[in-house]
Amino acid sequence: MSSEQINPEVRYTGIGVSPGIARGKIYVVHDDFEDVVRYRIQAADITGEIGRFETALIQTRAQILEMQQQIAEAIGAKDAGIFDAHLLVVEDRTLIDEVLRKLKADLCNVEFVFQEVATHYAETLSKIDDPYLRERALDIQDVTRRVVRNLLGKAPKAFLALTEQHILVAHNITPSDTATMNREQVLGLATDLGSRTSHTAIMARSLSIPAVVGLHHVTNKLETGQEVLLDGYNGLLVLDPTPETLWHYGELKHRKELVTEQLTGLRETKSTTRDGRHIVLSANIELPGDVGSVVTNGAEGIGLYRTEFLYLNRRTLPTEEEQFETYRTVAEHVSPHPLIIRTFDLGGDKIATGMNAEDELNPFMGLRAIRFCLENLHIFKAQLRAILRASAAENVKIMFPMISGVDELRRALAVLEDCKAELQREGLPFGSGTEVGAMIEIPSAALCAHALAREVDFFSIGTNDLIQYALAVDRVNERIAHLYEPTHPAVLQLLKMVSDGAHAHDIWVGVCGEMAGDLNMVPLLIGLGLDEFSVSASLVPRVKRAVQSLSVPECKKLVEEALELETPADILALCGQMAQRNYGDLLG
């Protein structure tokens, strides 16, 4: 009798950033050949593709020459001679002509055509029984990889077009990758890097894809095709799960499904506390297509539309007309509830073509959001005009991100007034009383809340950034994720200052950062007097149940006690106890 060797399971621990359990085969993303996706182009695009190809060849040639020179200086001209063969590849007329011919015949992107032609070329040479030609095949492969990388600067990757269901495992996945990947095929996400408030994590939550980030070097340890179980609740990736583990997770999944089912009954109910205080509960969206889940989850409109996603994954900027149509459609979909359109927040971890962000050492503190807008007025104005035109529908509000103080806010408001005057002159309709708000996500803005409140109709607190700037903890760096503490006493003070400042000037104040969707934080935010919570659509039913379970006096008492505490852990424990008492079944 033969005994079969059964692999014991291996567990990798990271940070669970999007709840849910996924089971299946993994696809490990490597920055290599296989990441070149094929997409169709029009005949009119051929010249542009040839231009890209020429630029990539010139870039590659320059890189090879530079390497050659470095090696010549370090170890001598003779060894540097090997790069002569590489230079010959970028000048190889047969190869280049074949790429151009196929580009015209196949009408698809040049990186795909080039890789296909070059790979075929190299394979043919490697099969010939001649050591010189086999060497040439290796040169071609090497150079091909380099040319493709140069071409791929902004191109989509193969994992974005998977045709089978997989759990994606990657070193990092950018927000723009998350926005364009084929969601039907992605069962879960697991990354080496990342944190709870990185935009990739936020996207995963809004797409309801279980995700675990901060798994350090997991991509080096796993291979495409292996079977794993991904636990987005507890931040675990289990390789080759045992039958016991699978049974345990089957049970957990069943329990979670029961809770979800009970929550669907809340859809038509209001998010009102036990003692009758209505907290407006809206949803955050990144893409226009997310609007359906806002409605199905029973949110009262959209509290944050991250419009910058409209600018990603494309070579040209969206026109005013395109934006107008998009905003109008989203506004109609959520009507009569409000739609708060945040002007684009590019920069940080969301980089659009042509931003030259690679020159910035600290992109989160760099030319981001309103700062970028005020330096690129033509782009800013196109968006403001589009929002204003969409606001003729009356349920649209505008919000500016990353406001640091009164001057900056006034400059943004002045540009908005310019746009209104232009539209008026052109006879184009726009909402007369469109509300304007400021995001409070920089500590300086929180400290100046009174002055800012005189200028706008509402505040929305961006806790994701507010916390990172207040505590000097990069929100996307998994190495310091443990220092990113929403219950830090300093954060509590800032939140109180903003809430008090807004109410002293009779404006409403909401929270649209991830803190609002954290069930442990709901009592604290109610106690601080916040009027609106805007959370990922999938979290709306849970947050609504939490609000309905609490009363304002008990939440206020909690805040009083929390303000006396000195450590984040103590404040978190206090909040957690109240959450546990009132809606423990939703936690854990």
Output the smallest distance, CB 486 to Mg ion, in A: 14
Give dist(CA 178, CA 585) in Å, integer.
31
* Catalytic hit among 86, 108, 166, 199: 199
Output the smallest distance, CB 202 to Mg ion, in A: 10
Q: Specify the residue, 139 or 465, whose C-beta has the smaller distance to ligand PEP.
A: 465
Hey, is 256 helix, strand or coil?
Answer: helix
As a whole number of Å, the CA-based R_g of the chain is: 27
Output the smallest distance, CB 462 to Mg ion, in A: 4
Output the smallest distance, CB 306 to ligand PEP, in A: 5
CA distances from 148 to 41, 87, 405 (A): 18, 15, 45
Compute the residue count for the chain.
588
Active site includes 512? yes
- Could you tell which of ligand PEP, Mg ion, none binds residue 397, using a CB distance below 5 to 8 A set by kind? none
Give dist(CA 414, CA 268) in Å, integer.
40
Three-state secondary structure string covering 337-395: CCEEEECCCCECCECCCCCCHHHCCCHHHCCCHHHHHHHCHHHHHHHHHHHHHHHHHCC
Q: Specify the residue, 115 or 200, whose C-beta has the smaller distance to ligand PEP.
A: 200
Contact assessment for residue 476 and residue 349, using Cβ atoms and an 8 Å cutoff: yes
Active site includes 337? no
The stretch near ligand PEP (CB under 6 A) out of 205-213, 427-435, 461-469, 572-580 is 461-469
The stretch near ligand PEP (CB under 6 A) out of 273-281, 351-359, 457-465, 492-500 is 457-465
- Could you tell which of Mg ion, ligand PEP, none binds residue 518, using a CB distance below 5 to 8 A set by kind? none
Q: Specify the residue, 465 or 518, whose C-beta has the smaller distance to Mg ion.
A: 465
The stretch near ligand PEP (CB under 6 A) out of 99-107, 114-122, 410-418, 462-470 is 462-470
- Contacts with ligand PEP by CB under 6 A: the residue count is 10
Q: Specify the residue, 49 or 308, whose C-beta has the smaller distance to Mg ion.
A: 308
* Catalytic hit among 373, 512, 555, 575: 512
Closest-CA residue to 214 (of 30, 478, 26, 484): 478
Q: Specify the residue, 279 or 467, whose C-beta has the smaller distance to ligand PEP.
A: 467
Output the smallest distance, CB 123 to Mg ion, in A: 49
Q: What binding mask, one character per residue, do residues 298-327 give for ligand PEP by CB under 6 A, x or -?
A: ------x-x---------------------
- Could you tell which of ligand PEP, Mg ion, none binds residue 463, using a CB distance below 5 to 8 A set by kind? ligand PEP
Contact assessment for residue 279 and residue 530, using Cβ atoms and an 8 Å cutoff: yes
Sheet containing strand 15-18, edge to edge, reads 10-13, 236-239, 227-231, 21-28, 166-170, 186-191, 211-213, 15-18
Give dist(CA 245, CA 238) in Å, integer.
9
List the end-to-end C-alpha distance of the chain, in Å, as a whole number.
45
Beta bridge partners of 239: 10, 228
Regarding 345 and contact with ligand PEP (CB under 6 A), the answer is yes
Output the smallest distance, CB 401 to Mg ion, in A: 6
Touching ligand PEP, residues 57-116 (CB under 6 A): none
The owner of tokens 């409209």 is 310
Q: Specify the residue, 175 or 232, whose C-beta has the smaller distance to ligand PEP.
A: 175
Sites of contact with Mg ion (CB under 5 A)? 441, 462, 465
Structure-block tokens of residue 557 = 């008492």
Regarding 194 and contact with ligand PEP (CB under 6 A), the answer is no
Hey, is 460 helix, strand or coil?
Answer: strand
Q: What is the DSSP letter of 456?
A: -
Interface pick for ligand PEP out of 19, 20, 210, 462 (rule CB under 6 A): 462
Output the smallest distance, CB 377 to ligand PEP, in A: 22
Regarding 205 and contact with ligand PEP (CB under 6 A), the answer is no
The stretch near ligand PEP (CB under 6 A) out of 360-368, 380-388, 460-468, 545-553 is 460-468
Buried b (16+ CB within 10 A) or exposed e, 65-85: eeebeebeeeeeeeebeebeb
Output the smallest distance, CB 462 to ligand PEP, in A: 3
Output the smallest distance, CB 449 to ligand PEP, in A: 16
Q: Specify the residue, 441 or 485, whose C-beta has the smaller distance to Mg ion.
A: 441
Contact assessment for residue 353 and residue 314, using Cβ atoms and an 8 Å cutoff: yes
Chain-centroid distance of CA 560 in Å reads: 35
- Could you tell which of Mg ion, ligand PEP, none binds residue 512, using a CB distance below 5 to 8 A set by kind? ligand PEP
Give dist(CA 297, CA 173) in Å, integer.
27
Regarding 286 and contact with ligand PEP (CB under 6 A), the answer is no
Interface pick for ligand PEP out of 231, 465, 531, 532 (rule CB under 6 A): 465
Contact assessment for residue 337 and residue 301, using Cβ atoms and an 8 Å cutoff: yes
Output the smallest distance, CB 463 to ligand PEP, in A: 5
Question: How many C-beta atoms lie closer than 10 Å to residue 585's C-beta?
Answer: 11
Interface pick for ligand PEP out of 36, 211, 512, 574 (rule CB under 6 A): 512
Mind giving me the DSSP string for 38-64? P-B--GGGHHHHHHHHHHHHHHHHHHH
Give dist(CA 230, CA 233) in Å, integer.
9
The stretch near ligand PEP (CB under 6 A) out of 269-277, 293-301, 459-467, 488-496 is 459-467
Regarding 513 and contact with ligand PEP (CB under 6 A), the answer is yes
Regarding 146 and contact with ligand PEP (CB under 6 A), the answer is no
Regarding 463 and contact with ligand PEP (CB under 6 A), the answer is yes
**Contacting positions for ligand PEP (CB under 6 A):** 304, 306, 345, 441, 462-465, 512-513
Active site residues: 199, 512
